[in-house]
Amino acid sequence: MSTYLLVHGAWAGGWSWEKVVPLLEEKGHAVKVIDLPGHGMDSTPPSKVTLQDYADKVCQALDVFDDQVILVGHSMGGIVISQAAELRPRKIKKLVYLTAYLLQNGEALMQATQEDQDSKLGQYVVLSEDGSCITLEDESLKAVIYPNSTDEDVKRVKQFNVPQPTIPIATPINITAENYGSITRVYIECTNDLVISPSTQKKMYTQMPCEKVLSLATDHTPNYSSPHELVKQLLKC
């Protein structure tokens, strides 16, 4: 049996894995979720949050385990698991990118989003006056991020959404072949994703080759819309 550490994406929190955790546990696996700084129940002000803070939070969780962990990052969580992997390569059995930003050394997520001309999310994001965070217009949830989820789930998600700090996503990741590059990578692409376009996903896992590329015919958030199918893919990793 394996141990999974699940890292959420932008505007989200550990709650975003609530449908996935029990399914993995039913299969006998150990599962841990965290709230990154400024997300979920963590009240750190967005203006104070850095990419290093994100990575440190993951490293703290990794340090609790004696065995190696399968580290899963969703969406924005991709840059977080990459940076954490650079710091704790021996603690990680495998890195799994769930329709996530799989970036090369020196790249920043914000740059990657600006280059994704097929993404439908840009029209719904709002930068705060002080530039410290980005919020979403409510319509984006059903229109782009959770289009295949039920209205009830979308209503629930809306209650938990938090502003996304800008500093972490504007910061280039710093990874090396010696540390980060020593860990096996798997990419799970979502072919109906409106947030990170399928073409951008393919571009990333082509530039950063993975041991496996698995596919889900789902939207950006299979953790909500297709949890059973997602877990089947996670078990193949």
Q: State the catalytic residues.
A: 75, 193, 220
Contacts of residue 110, Cβ cutoff 8 Å, sequence gap at least 6: 166, 169, 170
Q: What are the residue ranges of helices labelled H in 12-63?
A: 21-26, 51-62
Closest CA to 162 of 197, 132, 118, 198: 132
Pairing of strands 125-127, 133-136: antiparallel
Residues 24 and 27: their CA atoms lie apart, in Å, by 5
What beta strand segments (E) does the chain contain?
A: 3-7, 30-33, 69-74, 92-98, 125-127, 133-136, 164-165, 184-190, 212-216
Contact assessment for residue 24 and residue 96, using Cβ atoms and an 8 Å cutoff: no
